[in-house]
């Protein structure tokens, strides 16, 4: 059974720092990996999708990497801002229909 | 812009009521999902559907049913609401493809009193 783990569970950093969020999964036979952002009381917003044949994706200040063989993905946030404060969720597609989520990392950026 | 729309942001229902949560997507996606999200438990899959009138149980289907009469619409039904079904409910859709990507609605915060 696929298990997705995100470390750390919570992170608080001062504004302007670069930071890395970690995601690990136990079964490397995945289709894709997707990173989401969730603000309190809201739905999930897709940040980045990494297809299984790719090693990384970039969008603005965000960069996500994928190493299927080791079962790991990282989300790198450059020059963090208070508006980046949210919960970040990692999810893997186990087949085209089954999406397995990690528990998330709650990120706080302090002005 | 891709869109998954849930019919309500907030709902308050009484114990024993039949509750309908509606979700509509405009992307012609085959797959649609219902999750619930609770503190400390993360997102748990209730049901998903891969085609009209087709459905599969997820990890926690007890106390729920679903309906998909049209491709764009996926309904979650609480047959007799109970207080332990108070939760955030999230709908999602995706293509049936190796390049699949999931899109989520804004969530429905359901309180059963």
Task: Note down pLDDT in tens along chain B; length 113 residues.
Answer: 669 999 999 999 999 999 999 999 999 999 999 999 999 899 999 999 999 989 999 999 999 999 999 999 999 999 999 999 999 999 999 987 777 889 999 999 999 99
- In the stretch 40-79 of chain B, residues with CB closer than 8 A to chain A read 42-43, 45, 48, 50
Please, what is the Cα angle at A74 between A70 and A79, to 5 degrees? 160
Question: A25-72, pLDDT tens digit by residue?
Answer: 999 888 899 999 999 989 999 999 998 889 999 999 999 999 999 999
β-strand A105-110 against A98-101: which pairing, if any?
A: unpaired
Q: Cα distance from A20 to chain B (closest Cα, Å)? A: 21
Tell which residue, A56, A42, A54, A33, has the closest CA to residue A85.
A42
* C-alpha distance from residue B26 to each of A84, B69, B77, B92 (Å): 28, 15, 21, 12
End-to-end CA distance of chain B: 37
End-to-end CA distance of chain A: 41
Interface test mutation site (partner B, options A43, A86, A88, A89, max chain B beta carbons within 10 A): A43
Chain B residues whose beta carbon lies within 8 Å of the beta carbon of residue A42: 106-107
């Amino acid at each position: 059974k696929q298990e997705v783990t995100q470390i750390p569970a919570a992170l608080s950093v001062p504004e302007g720092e670069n930071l890395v969020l970690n995601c690990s999964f136990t079964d490397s036979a995945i289709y894709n990996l997707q990173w989401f952002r969730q603000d309190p009381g809201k739905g999930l917003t897709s940040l980045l999708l990494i297809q299984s044949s790719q090693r990384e994706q970039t969008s603005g200040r965000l960069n996500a990497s994928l190493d299927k063989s080791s079962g790991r993905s990282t989300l790198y946030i450059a020059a963090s801002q208070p508006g980046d404060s949210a919960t970040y969720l990692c999810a893997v597609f186990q087949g085209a229909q089954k999406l397995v989520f990690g528990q998330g990392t709650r990120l706080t950026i302090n002005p | 812009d891709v869109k998954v729309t849930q019919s309500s942001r907030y709902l308050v229902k009484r114990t024993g009521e039949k509750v309908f949560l509606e979700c509509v997507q405009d992307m012609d996606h085959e797959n649609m999902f219902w999750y619930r999200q609770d503190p400390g438990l993360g997102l748990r899959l209730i049901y998903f559907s891969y085609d009209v009138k087709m459905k599969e149980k997820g990890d926690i289907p007890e106390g729920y049913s679903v309906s998909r009469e049209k491709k764009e619409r996926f309904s979650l039904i609480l047959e007799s609401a109970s207080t332990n079904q108070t939760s955030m409910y999230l709908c999602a859709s995706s293509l049936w493809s190796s390049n699949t990507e999931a899109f989520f609605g804004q969530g429905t915060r359901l309180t059963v009193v």
